[in-house]
Each structure stands twice: as C-alpha cells, then as structure tokens.
C-alpha cells in the first residue's frame, strides 16, 4: 500500500510538472516578456479544445493512465471580460484502483494582455485534497491566495510576483504566443511560476527544431525546449524535462517527456478541436 501511494503521488507530481513544462518559456517573455498579445496573430481561438493523454512507465512498461482536457471559452468573471481556460484531469478506470485522479485547473485571462486574472486549482488525488484560489493584483505586484491542503483549515496568503509571473495553466497559453523567430538556438531563460504559496524560478533552454513522431497523430516539425527541474518529491534535481511545440502558428504542446524518481512520464496531444490555423507543422515523415 505504501509503494502504491508513493508511486501514485510521484506520478501525480509528474503530471503537474508536465503541465508546468508546457508553460515554461514565457516568464522571460510578455511584452517586457516579449509576448505577442495581438488578437490578429494570437495562436488560439477562444473555443479551442485539446485532449492530452499522460503515460507512465515503470520497468519498461508504458501505460496510458490519465486523460487531460483543456477547453477555452469567452465569459465574464467578477464583472470582467475574460478568457476562461478549463483544465480537467481524470485517471482511467483501470488505474483508479491504483491511484485515482480527479483534478480541476482553471485560469481566467485578460483578453487583451493575456495576463491571468484568477486561478483555481481543485485537486482530489486518491483522497488527497488540495485547493488554491488566486486573485492577481497586478497594480500591487501580488497574488491574494486562499489555500487549503488535506483536511486542514484554509488560510489566506499574499505572494509577491514579477510582471511575468503565471500559474501552471496561464503559462501554457502564453508560451503559444511567443515569437520564436526572435530567439536563438541555445538561448537560456529563467522563469517564475506560482505554485501553492510559493513562486519558483526554473531555468530552461531553447534546444533545437526537429521532426518527431507522435503516437496516433503522425509526424510534426517541432520546437524542442528543455528544463532542469528543481529538487522536489518527484524530482532529484538532476533531471531534464523536455517539450516539443509544433513549429507553426498554433504552437501546440504536442509532446512532453520527463523522468521522475520512480519511472518516467510522457504526455501527448491526441485530439484537438477549433484550432485557429492549419497544422502546417504536420509532415509525411522525418
């Protein structure tokens, strides 16, 4: 039972980190961060939907264990116009007996600047409960946070932020609006990412452009990024995580891969709907 819990918890941290990695480049990038927020060149529509499948390997056996859906919509939040990004992660039925995952991640973005306005995280992982709610106060460079872990009482906290700080979901959609033509291969960046009641700085690298095969989807010309992870319950601090983003105007996070302390995780897009631009990155073969 202890091994079950430990492996499941590490996988869960790995899934979160895979989502984090999708997002990593942008904190060095939004206007002052070099983010292109123009509506005319934006990489996504406000009705886009993506499905991601997360796989886990232990002793060389790969298994698809968690499905993640990311859906966009235009709506109002607390009287403000917003782009809502709803993320939902659910473990597959055969995996529920081992480690059940039911996670909700939501972000509301400012439609003009793409800065996050609010963030909600509601995690239920095999009975482990975690809830975060952020209100971004950009004028005062802070997040007003309400945090609850396990069955403990919720508490309020204030988190200092930089102009380019994001949560794990808002970063995914920020990175897709980076103009990679202004970057050089080998460039390195340091980013700030708010998780729970802390802001983490993570170093990443723009590795190369290459063609990869994505299971069930075909071959794609991609931009490859890597990041050295901070030491945590899932990582020793020596691992590199990798993400491949389609080298077209959509900049979809088509594939991700990372070792964790017990095993390895991979994540790939398996379905997409209402993508704004043609998939020009898709090719016949390598």
- Inform me whether the pLDDT recorded for 191 exceeds 80: no
Range name among 123-127, 143-147, 189-193, 223-227 with the lowest pLDDT average: 189-193
Query: If you compute the radius of gyration of the chain from its CA atoms, what whole number of angstroms results?
Result: 18
Q: Three-state DSSP class for 140?
A: helix
Residues 167-185 have a mean pLDDT of 83
231-241 pLDDT, tens digit each: 544 445 455 78
Residues 10-34 have a mean pLDDT of 48
**Residue listed under structure tokens 């991700």:** 256
Residues 252-259 have a mean pLDDT of 90
Burial zone of 83 (CB within 10 Å; 0-12 exposed, 13-18 middle, 19+ buried): buried
pTM of the model: 0.84
- The kind and range of the H/E element at 179 are none
Greater pLDDT, 252 or 125: 252
- Inform me whether the pLDDT recorded for 28 exceeds 70: no
Which residues pair with residue 266 across a beta bridge?
55, 257
Dihedral through CA 205, CA 219, CA 48, CA 135, nearest 10?
-20
Residues 78-105 have a mean pLDDT of 91
Instruction: List helix spans (H) across the chain.
Output: 2-22, 93-96, 168-175
Question: What band does 264 get if pLDDT is binned at 50, 70 and 90?
Answer: confident
- Inform me whether the pLDDT recorded for 23 exceeds 50: no
Cβ contact 141:165 at 8 Å: no
150-160 pLDDT, tens digit each: 888 999 999 99
Greater pLDDT, 178 or 22: 178
Per-residue model confidence (pLDDT) at position 25 = 42
Per-residue model confidence (pLDDT) at position 263 = 75
Domain residue ranges in the chain: 2-283
Nearest partner of 226 among 198, 187, 262, judged by Cα: 187
Cβ contact 170:107 at 8 Å: yes
Query: Within its chain, how far is the Cα of 5 from the centroid?
Result: 24
Cβ contact 255:3 at 8 Å: no
> Mean pLDDT, the chain, as a whole number?
83
Cβ contact 67:50 at 8 Å: no
- Inform me whether the pLDDT recorded for 139 exceeds 70: yes
CA distance 98 to 91: 10
Q: Percent of the chain scored above 90 by pLDDT? A: 47
Greater pLDDT, 2 or 163: 163
Nearest partner of 187 among 148, 227, 153, judged by Cα: 227
42-81 pLDDT, tens digit each: 999 999 999 999 998 876 778 899 999 999 999 999 888 9
Per-residue model confidence (pLDDT) at position 186 = 86
CA distance 71 to 85: 6
- Inform me whether the pLDDT recorded for 164 exceeds 90: no
Cβ contact 258:25 at 8 Å: no
Question: What band does 230 get if pLDDT is binned at 50, 70 and 90?
Answer: low
Question: What band does 3 get if pLDDT is binned at 50, 70 and 90?
Answer: very low
Query: Is the CA virtual torsion 147, 149, 151, 153 positive or negative?
Result: negative
């Amino acid at each position: 039972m202890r091994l079950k819990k430990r492996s499941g918890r590490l996988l869960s941290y790995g899934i979160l980190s895979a989502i984090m990695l999708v997002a990593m480049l942008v904190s060095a990038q939004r206007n002052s961060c070099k983010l292109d927020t123009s509506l005319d060149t934006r990489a996504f529509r406000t009705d886009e939907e993506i499905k991601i499948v997360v796989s886990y390997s232990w002793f060389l056996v790969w298994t698809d264990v968690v499905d993640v859906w990311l859906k966009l919509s235009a709506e109002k939040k607390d009287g403000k116009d917003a782009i809502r990004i709803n993320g939902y992660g659910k473990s597959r039925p055969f995996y529920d007996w081992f480690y059940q995952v039911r996670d909700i991640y939501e972000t509301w973005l400012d439609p003009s600047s793409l800065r996050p306005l609010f963030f909600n995280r509601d995690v239920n992982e095999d009975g482990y409960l975690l809830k975060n709610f952020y209100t971004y106060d950009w004028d005062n460079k802070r997040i007003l946070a309400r945090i609850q872990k396990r069955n403990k009482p919720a508490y309020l906290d204030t988190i200092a932020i930089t102009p380019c700080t994001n949560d794990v979901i808002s970063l995914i959609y920020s990175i897709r609006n980076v103009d990679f033509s202004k970057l050089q291969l080998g460039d390195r960046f340091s980013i700030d990412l708010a998780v729970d009641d802390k802001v983490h700085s993570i170093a990443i690298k723009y590795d190369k452009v290459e063609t990869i095969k994505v299971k069930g989807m075909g071959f794609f010309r991609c931009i490859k990024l890597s990041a050295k992870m901070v030491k945590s319950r899932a990582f020793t601090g020596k691992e590199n995580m990798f993400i491949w983003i389609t080298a077209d105007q959509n900049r979809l996070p088509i594939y991700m891969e990372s070792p964790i302390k017990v095993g390895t995780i991979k994540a790939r897009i398996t379905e997409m709907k209402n993508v704004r631009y043609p998939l020009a990155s898709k090719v016949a073969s390598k």
